[in-house]
Amino acid sequence: MIRRFAFALLLAAAPAAALAGEASPPTPVLKAAATVSADIVRIGDLVDNAGTVADAPIFRAPDIGTTGSVSVAQVLDAIEPYHIFLIDTGSISRVQVTRPGRAIDLADIEARIARAFAGRYGLGEAKNLSVTLDAAQPVMVDPAAAGDLVLKTAVLSPITGRFEIAFDLPGQAAGRRTAKFTGTVVETVAVAVTMRALATSTVIRASDLAIERRPKSQVSAETIIAADNAVGLAVRTPVRAGQPLRRTDLMTPQLVHRDDEVTLVYQVPGIMLTTRGKALEAGGDGDAISVLNVETKRTIQGVVSGPNRVTIMSTMRRASRDVTAAIPGSVASR
């Protein structure tokens, strides 16, 4: 379709141009889509062959990084005062206008916020700060703009961890465009957590643990920081998956359990005596426990020295006599 403005004027001028031998100017053509880089959309952005009025501003551009549209009627109304008499609009009904942008994603924004608060309000290094933004979108800036967000204001409540922060955007005139964010920031510490639920007495393996960061306020001096400090120990009480481990959750693996049948050993240089016993307590390697000598029916003290094995302490002469009296045939000389 061809839209005509002041058509009578155009017809009157045509014969004069022909008599003068002048070539007809190219027909202005409306674009179906346009890309702009400035705040203002000009006639030449939307119309090819706009001539001397190509730089005339007619619309405000979309926001950086977005696309908008305008109807053909709106375009024609906007350029009518500039006396473009003939525009070829073809079959276009709306014109799409895009303003490119470079995205500063949320991860970059969170990192910048962490750097802004590092060492302030009692917080530690930026790498140990966890930032959680309230509802937010990536920030779009001019693709030609270099540089980072520039801190403008920053306020944080040390009690709640809530913050309000504002940045000047790169490539923008001072005070024209700022980005504001709210959220929370907390300092975190790397701790050992369980990968699966562990039952009482389970001996911890390296594959049972992972290192994760948790809020510093939830970490105590008893919290296990390095996985190596827990591997090989046993769980004292059941723990759930994902639970940070504390020293009080762990114990030396039990080699003897209550009511287990154990071997009682009395050993001095050159001689070793053994007999049967019953554990009256549970214990791990090196733990002192009470055991029952099943032959003499007496309770004696010993030290766990292996799986279901209890060594009678040599200083306990009565206990050694109990063992010797009970097993005269089990003497092993060396």
Buried-exposed string 138-153: b where 16+ CB fall within 10 A, e elsewhere: ebbbbeeeeeebeeee
Q: Are 262 and 279 spatial neighbours (Cβ–Cβ below 8 Å)? A: yes
**Cα 320 to the chain's mean position, in Å?**
62
- Give the residue-averaged pLDDT of 150-171: 92
Q: Are strands 2-4 and 86-88 parallel, antiparallel or unpaired?
A: antiparallel
Which domains does the chain carry?
A: 2-99 (2.60.480), 101-251 (3.90.1210.10), 255-333 (2.30.30.760)
Q: Are 303 and 287 spatial neighbours (Cβ–Cβ below 8 Å)? A: yes
> Residue 190: pLDDT above 90?
yes
CA distance 39 to 57: 10
Q: What is the mean pLDDT of the chain?
A: 85
Please tell me which residue, 5 or 80, carries the higher pLDDT value. Answer: 80
- Give the residue-averaged pLDDT of 113-140: 93
pLDDT tens-digit readout, 214-237: 999 889 999 999 999 999 999 989
Please tell me which residue, 143 or 321, carries the higher pLDDT value. Answer: 143
What integer pLDDT is reported at residue 9 of this predicted model?
29
**Is 0.85 surpassed by the pTM of this model?**
no
What integer pLDDT is reported at residue 314 of this predicted model?
58
Residue 334: which pLDDT band, with cuts at 50, 70 and 90?
very low
Please, which residues bridge with residue 212 across strands? 191
For the ranges 15-24, 165-174, 271-280, 297-306, which has the lowest average pLDDT?
A: 15-24
CA distance 168 to 136: 16
> Residue 316: pLDDT above 50?
no
> Residue 17: pLDDT above 50?
no
Q: Are strands 57-60 and 102-104 parallel, antiparallel or unpaired?
A: unpaired
Q: Are 159 and 149 spatial neighbours (Cβ–Cβ below 8 Å)? A: no
> Residue 252: pLDDT above 70?
yes
Most confident range (mean pLDDT) of 138-147, 254-263, 311-320, 322-331 is 254-263
pLDDT tens-digit readout, 163-189: 999 999 887 554 467 899 999 999 999
- For the chain, the distance separating the N- and C-terminal CA atoms, rounded to the nearest angstrom, is 116
Q: Are 293 and 274 spatial neighbours (Cβ–Cβ below 8 Å)? A: no
> Residue 274: pLDDT above 50?
yes
> Residue 90: pLDDT above 60?
yes
- Give the residue-averaged pLDDT of 184-211: 94
DSSP string, 183-207: EEEEEEEEEEEESS-B-TTPBP-GG
What integer pLDDT is reported at residue 123 of this predicted model?
93
Q: Are 53 and 82 spatial neighbours (Cβ–Cβ below 8 Å)? A: yes
> Residue 6: pLDDT above 50?
no
Longest dimension (CA), the chain: 142
What integer pLDDT is reported at residue 204 of this predicted model?
94
